[in-house]
Amino acid sequence: MTRLRNLALTLAAALTGACSTMAPDYQRPVAPVPATFPGEVPTEASAVAPLADTIAWGDYFADERLRELIGLALDNNRDLRVAALNIERARAQYRIQRADLYPAVGAGGGQSAQRLPADLSPTGESTVNRQYSATLGVSAWELDFFGRIRSLNEQALQLYLGTEEARRAAQVSLVAEVANAWLTLAADRERMALAQNTYDTRRKSYELIGRSFEAGAVSALDLRQAETQMESARGDVALFAALVAQDENALALLAGMPVPERLLPAKLTDSLTAVQALPAGVPSEVLMRRPDILQAERQLRAANASIGAARAAFFPAITLTGAAGTASAALDGLFDGGSGTWSFMPQIRLPIFEAGRLHASLDVAEIQREVNVAEYEKSIQSAFREVADALADRATLAERLDARQRMMAASRETYRLSDARYKGGIDSFLAVLDAQRTLYAAEQELIAVRLADAANRVALYRALGGGWQ
Q: What is the pLDDT of residues 183-216, one digit of tens each?
A: 999 999 999 999 999 999 989 888 988 888 888 8
Residue 186: helix, strand or coil by DSSP?
Answer: helix
Least confident of 16-30, 204-218, 219-233: 16-30
- Average pLDDT rounded to a whole number, residues 114-135: 79
17 has a pLDDT exceeding 70: no
CB 356 within 8 A of CB 178: no
Strand pairing category for 105-116 and 340-349? unpaired
User: Cα separations (Å) of 385 from 23, 72, 166, 278, 302?
Assistant: 33, 31, 20, 16, 26
Rounded Cα–Cα distance for residues 170 and 176 (Å): 10
- Average pLDDT rounded to a whole number, residues 87-99: 88
% the chain with pLDDT above 70: 89
- Average pLDDT rounded to a whole number, residues 99-118: 83
Q: Per-residue confidence at 427, pLDDT binned at 50, 70, 90?
A: confident
- Average pLDDT rounded to a whole number, residues 264-275: 80
Say what the pLDDT of residue 467 is.
64
272 or 421, greater pLDDT: 421
User: What is the model's pTM?
Assistant: 0.81
Q: Considering only CA atoms, which of 56, 444, 68, 59 is closest in space to residue 264?
A: 68
> Hey, CA dihedral for 235, 238, 244, 247, is it positive or negative?
negative
Phi and psi angles of residue 426, each rounded to the nearest 5 degrees, phi first:
-85, -45
Helices (H) and strands (E) in the chain, counts: 9, 4
Rounded Cα–Cα distance for residues 347 and 352 (Å): 16
DSSP characters over 310-370:
HHHTTS-EEEEEEEEEEEESSGGGTTSTT-EEEEEEEEEE-----TTHHHHHHHHHHHHHH
Contact partners, residue 319, CB within 8 Å, separation at least 6 = 140, 141, 142, 143, 346, 347, 348, 349
Rounded Cα–Cα distance for residues 105 and 227 (Å): 88
36 has a pLDDT exceeding 70: yes
Rounded Cα–Cα distance for residues 175 and 458 (Å): 9
Q: Which fold has domain 21-101+146-314+378-463?
A: Outer membrane efflux proteins (OEP) (1.20.1600)
Mean pLDDT of the chain: 84
Residue 107: helix, strand or coil by DSSP?
Answer: strand
- In 185-296, DSSP assigns E strands to none
Sheet holding 317-328, edge to edge: 105-116, 127-143, 317-328, 340-349
